[in-house]
A and B are shown apart, each in its own frame.
Chain A
Amino acid sequence: MHDFANAFILLSNYVLIPSITYGSQLAIGALGITLVFSILRFANFAHGDTMAFGTMVAIFCTWGVQALGLSLGPLPVALITLPVAIAVTIALVLGIDKIIYQFYRNKKVEPIILVMASVGVMFMMNGIVRILIGTGDVSFADGARFIIRAREFREMTGLDEGLALRTTQVITVVVAGVVMAALFWFLQKTRTGKSMRAFSDNEDLALLSGIKPERVVQITWIIAATLATIAGVLYGLDKGFRPFTYFQLLLPMFAAAILGGIGQPIGAVVGGFVIAFSEVALTYAYRRVFEYLGPDGFEVEGLAQLIETEYKFAISFIILVIVLLVRPTGIFKGRVL
């Protein structure tokens, strides 16, 4: 029994908690990508850098609040600066849509041209963020770092294995839950949400029934910018902000959206968690878990690791390739890219 508890705590500490946190962050990011795809019908490569931009604004506001000497006690200040960051990001994204994407939309171009335009936007935002905040690491998580420390947990429970739970991990999961619930309620129950789904299903029918396309597009951008900023701030609070890692997030987020079925919000959420669990669980070394679960004195040669940690990044890529080959519509029958 004792051994079983130890094995479970060990797995929670290194696999369950990290992948649930990372999965929530990926899921919110992938939701933004999938929404833009279902309404605007193109893969938005600038999404990772929109996240970086929103996070950067939140960081600047956090520094401002900190300079005033204010704090939120155990919670990070970034949580109250989040609305400001979202507002600024929405303004930027709507501006970019007005100047760049609207032009191509009015010309009714092929989707691939919009994709290429978004690559351009990506490089632009990349540059803006680096000029404004630099390329280095920024840690902006203040407040209490831990809810439970590993050592405290060991002393408290008398187990051999410790469990660490960070404040940012709990915040991530709670905020992600609220955001997803709100988004699904919006899409299912409100008039605007329904018009968005109608527009996504069949553009021509939606237009005939009197839905204003530009309004749907605007609302989509507003939601996408909101999701991007929230995902970015949560990721940054949890793992630290660095512009380049946000750019790298594009791959797992796209893999999550495509795996779930692109254009399917529920698919993005499921995809996000599957990707996160695969990345963490496939690279974890299970040696000690097996030793706890096996008979007394059972020893495992080697690390019992499926894939070395160096290849962590390749996992989302492999999943992406397999999905595109085997089931291009993804788990929830999305569109084919």
Chain B
Amino acid sequence: MKNILLAGLSSVALMTASAALADDHEIKIGVILGFSGPLESITPAMGASGELAMKEVSDSGAFLDGTKVTPVRADSTCIDAAAATSAAERLVSSEGVAAIFGPDCSGVTTAVVNNVTVPQGMLDISPSATSPALSSIEDNGLFFRTSPSDARQGAILAQIVMDRGIEEVAVTFTNNDYGQGFADAFVESYKAIGGTVTLSSAHEDGRADYSAEVGALSAAGGDALVVLGYIDQGGLGVMRSAIDTGAFDVFVGGDGMYGSSLLEALGDDLETWFGTLPGSAVQGDDPFLAVAEAAGIDVDGPYVRESYDAAALILLAMQAAGGVDSAAEHVMAVANAPGEKIAAGELARGLELLAAGTDIDYVGASGVELIEPGESSGVYREFELVDGALKDVKMH
């Protein structure tokens, strides 16, 4: 008993000591992404990309009088709101982060915004939470996202499907905020332009067998199956089962289904496959390619560019505010015109301009343009499976 007390007391003492020791020349940024869970195959590149922007700012020496930036990682799990909340609380209370980069999935993002960042009055920018519900969350102006709302992705995907002459589809979506929001937006837009949705049904992630779900979708029929789920989870399972039973030949996917691991898993059996994912509005030469390549980051992964931009915007807003406290008020101004355009890899110049009191218009890796209430206006790439590889065929 005495030992436990001593250990407890000394750890409390250590914690206070470390908080007190955190000097003014270092700030920490929480990097909370689903390093485990349904997005675990794409989050490493997202995390690395965000941390790349932080390192660039830190190394420039121009950030808040030479303050260093240190990322601290935490696991959002993507699906477990309680785990994400406690991870975010740990970042805030024991790591003392100044702002949060992330989380990634819409459900956990809602939980973190409601339970942690808004009560703490802390700036939070997510690179990839795309649920339409987040547009109306009560965030006191503290929450932003460098990805667009799925309301827009749903509309664009519906148009792409219609443009390809497919007028009847079945929809399956992952049973969470992201899937539900995306599916609602898709179904509404698709019906508005004259399409028929035979069935829109949810699937649970993490099941071994999706033959029952596919049976229902197949009974409903349709010329294509629209899969709005996750590539590591039920989305793949539903596609696998639909191909095995010959229920559908044409598959349409949202951003959560984009990746080469799907092609490896399904092999030659997958023939017709297209969909949308957030793209870069950067025209002409793309400075992010060189920046990411130097750091060994694969730029083709989903939300890699948005991650760089989310981290960069957090730090540029702090620079504009001259400190951590009112940074959130400056995010929109930094991201949008008017001002000097700042591309990826030019963060040092952006920091210097802001320090000199000049406006900047951060363009970054994804050509980010924020619209009210603090989300990217959104440019989408239409991808398609061509000769066994995923190719971008169009921008929307």
User: Which residues of the other chain, A, contact B336 by a CB distance below 8 angstroms?
Assistant: none
Cβ-neighbour of B206 out of A245, A288, A309 (below 8 A): A245
Q: Report yes or no: B246 in contact with A285, Cβ–Cβ below 8 A.
A: no
Give min CB distance, B265 to chain A, whole Å: 7
User: Which residues of the other chain, B, contact A286 by a CB distance below 8 angstroms?
Assistant: 219
Q: Report yes or no: B212 in contact with A279, Cβ–Cβ below 8 A.
A: yes
Check: A22 CB closer than 8 A to any chain B CB. yes
Complexed CA–CA distance, A135 and B245 (Å): 27
Known: A285-B216, A305-B216, A310-B202. A150 touches B208 (CB 8 A): no
Cβ-neighbour of B216 out of A22, A150, A284 (below 8 A): A284
Give min CB distance, B250 to chain A, whole Å: 13
Complexed CA–CA distance, A242 and B246 (Å): 25
User: Which residues of the other chain, B, contact A308 by a CB distance below 8 angstroms?
Assistant: 201, 216
Cβ-neighbour of B246 out of A149, A283, A287 (below 8 A): A149
Q: Report yes or no: A245 in contact with B208, Cβ–Cβ below 8 A.
A: yes
When A and B form their complex, what is the total count of cross-chain residue pairs whose Cβ atoms lie within 8 Å?
83
Which A residues between 1 and 52 are near B, CB-CB below 8 angstroms?
A: 13-15, 18, 22
Check: A151 CB closer than 8 A to any chain B CB. yes
User: Which residues of the other chain, A, contact B216 by a CB distance below 8 angstroms?
Assistant: 283-285, 303, 305, 308-309
Check: B207 CB closer than 8 A to any chain A CB. yes
Check: B358 CB closer than 8 A to any chain A CB. no
CB nearest neighbor in B for A300: B219
Check: B141 CB closer than 8 A to any chain A CB. no
Q: Report yes or no: A150 in contact with B245, Cβ–Cβ below 8 A.
A: yes
Known: A242-B208, A245-B208, A283-B212. A303 touches B265 (CB 8 A): no
Known: A139-B265, A309-B216. A235 touches B245 (CB 8 A): no
Which B residues between 228 and 244 are near A, CB-CB below 8 angstroms?
A: 232, 244
Complexed CA–CA distance, A244 and B202 (Å): 20
Q: Quick one: CB contact mask for B99-110 with A, threshold 8 Å, 1 for yes?
A: 000000000000
Give min CB distance, A128 to chain B, whole Å: 18
Check: B204 CB closer than 8 A to any chain A CB. yes
Check: B218 CB closer than 8 A to any chain A CB. yes
Give min CB distance, A173 to chain B, whole Å: 16
Central interface residue in A14, A136, A240, A312, by most chain B CB within 10 Å: A14
Central interface residue in B212, B220, B244, by most chain A CB within 10 Å: B212
Q: Report yes or no: A13 in contact with B245, Cβ–Cβ below 8 A.
A: yes
Complexed CA–CA distance, A14 and B215 (Å): 6
User: Which residues of the other chain, A, contact B209 by a CB distance below 8 angstroms?
Assistant: 18, 22, 239
Check: A280 CB closer than 8 A to any chain B CB. yes
Known: A166-B244, A285-B220. A280 touches B208 (CB 8 A): no
Complexed CA–CA distance, A162 and B246 (Å): 6
Check: A164 CB closer than 8 A to any chain B CB. yes
CB nearest neighbor in A for B215: A14
Q: Report yes or no: A280 in contact with B212, Cβ–Cβ below 8 A.
A: yes
Q: Report yes or no: A309 in contact with B208, Cβ–Cβ below 8 A.
A: no
User: Which residues of the other chain, B, contact A279 by a CB distance below 8 angstroms?
Assistant: 212
Give min CB distance, B35 to chain A, whole Å: 12
Check: B221 CB closer than 8 A to any chain A CB. yes
Complexed CA–CA distance, A304 and B203 (Å): 19
CB nearest neighbor in A for B240: A240
Check: B175 CB closer than 8 A to any chain A CB. yes
Complexed CA–CA distance, A162 and B209 (Å): 20
User: Which residues of the other chain, A, contact B220 by a CB distance below 8 angstroms?
Assistant: 285, 287, 303
Q: Report yes or no: A310 in contact with B204, Cβ–Cβ below 8 A.
A: yes
Complexed CA–CA distance, A162 and B214 (Å): 14
Check: A154 CB closer than 8 A to any chain B CB. yes
Complexed CA–CA distance, A47 and B244 (Å): 30
Check: B31 CB closer than 8 A to any chain A CB. no
Give min CB distance, A305 to chain B, whole Å: 6
User: Which residues of the other chain, A, contact B199 by a CB distance below 8 angstroms?
Assistant: 303
Check: A137 CB closer than 8 A to any chain B CB. yes
Known: A162-B245, A162-B246, A303-B220. A285 touches B215 (CB 8 A): yes
Complexed CA–CA distance, A150 and B243 (Å): 9
Give min CB distance, A177 to chain B, whole Å: 21
Q: Report yes or no: A137 in contact with B212, Cβ–Cβ below 8 A.
A: no
Q: Report yes or no: B211 in contact with A14, Cβ–Cβ below 8 A.
A: yes
Check: B352 CB closer than 8 A to any chain A CB. no
User: Which residues of the other chain, B, contact A242 by a CB distance below 8 angstroms?
Assistant: 206, 208
Q: Report yes or no: A285 in contact with B219, Cβ–Cβ below 8 A.
A: yes
Q: Quick one: CB contact mask for A303-317 with B, threshold 8 Å, 1 for yes?
A: 111001110100000
Check: B36 CB closer than 8 A to any chain A CB. yes
User: Which residues of the other chain, A, contact B247 by a CB distance below 8 angstroms?
Assistant: 150
Give min CB distance, A6 to chain B, whole Å: 13
User: Which residues of the other chain, B, contact A135 by a CB distance below 8 angstroms?
Assistant: 36
Q: Report yes or no: A164 in contact with B244, Cβ–Cβ below 8 A.
A: yes
Cβ-neighbour of B245 out of A14, A309, A312 (below 8 A): A14
Q: Report yes or no: A244 in contact with B246, Cβ–Cβ below 8 A.
A: no
Complexed CA–CA distance, A151 and B221 (Å): 16
Check: B286 CB closer than 8 A to any chain A CB. no
Q: Report yes or no: A150 in contact with B219, Cβ–Cβ below 8 A.
A: no
Give min CB distance, A262 to chain B, whole Å: 25
User: Which residues of the other chain, A, contact B204 by a CB distance below 8 angstroms?
Assistant: 310
Check: B329 CB closer than 8 A to any chain A CB. no
Complexed CA–CA distance, A260 and B179 (Å): 39
Q: Report yes or no: A164 in contact with B219, Cβ–Cβ below 8 A.
A: no
User: Which residues of the other chain, B, contact A13 by a CB distance below 8 angstroms?
Assistant: 245-246
Q: Report yes or no: A309 in contact with B201, Cβ–Cβ below 8 A.
A: yes
Q: List 18 A-B contacts (CB under 8 A).
A: A13-B246, A14-B211, A14-B214, A14-B245, A136-B40, A136-B232, A151-B246, A162-B245, A245-B207, A248-B208, A279-B212, A280-B212, A285-B215, A285-B219, A288-B219, A288-B221, A305-B219, A309-B216
User: Which 6 pairs, one residue from A and one from B, show the smallest C-beta to C-beta distance?
Assistant: A150-B246, A285-B219, A162-B246, A245-B208, A239-B208, A14-B215
Contacts A280-B215, A303-B199, A309-B212 known; 12 new A-B pairs at CB < 8 A = A14-B245, A15-B215, A150-B244, A162-B245, A164-B244, A164-B246, A239-B209, A280-B212, A284-B215, A303-B220, A309-B213, A310-B204
B: residues with CB less than 8 A from A are 36, 40, 175, 199, 201-204, 206-209, 211-216, 218-221, 232, 244-247, 265
